[in-house]
Amino acid sequence: MTEISVSARIPEEIFKELKTFMKEESLEKSASIRKLLSEGLQHWKEQRALESLKEGKVTFLKAAEMAGCSVWDFADVVREKGIVWIKSEKFIHSDIEKALR
């Protein structure tokens, strides 16, 4: 994986929290930032996928793909959040057809 250097200015309060995270996770600064950024982006992808699913914009399979996780892991997230996603038969048939391919 190619790594790209990124520079950012952050408020002092966030840096204090970062230092606490670094200490508790036994990580150096750059590793801590990579871990937090990765986890934050994963959370953002999941939230975006859940919202799209909830609004009926995408099928369940597409939402799982958007979230970057398996259908089974995404099903756990949907269940945990209590998302009602079955809005029409069209999406059910579409998901079944895709799953059978």
Q: Is residue 2 part of a domain?
A: no
The residue assigned the tokens 């966030």 is 14
What are the pLDDT digits (tens) for 67-97? 999 999 999 999 999 887 776 666 677 767 7
Q: Is residue 6 part of a domain?
A: no
Q: Is residue 30 part of a domain?
A: yes
The pLDDT score that the predictor gives to residue 91 is 64
- What pTM was estimated for this model as a whole? 0.75
CB 56, CB 87: distance < 8 Å: yes
92 to 23, 54, 59: CA distances (angstroms) = 47, 14, 8
What are the pLDDT digits (tens) for 16-37? 999 999 999 999 999 999 999 9
Domain span at residue 62? Answer: 12-100
Q: Is residue 3 part of a domain?
A: no
Direct distance between the N- and C-terminal alpha carbons of the chain, in angstroms, rounded to an integer: 31
The total domain count for the chain is: 1
The residue assigned the tokens 């790209």 is 4
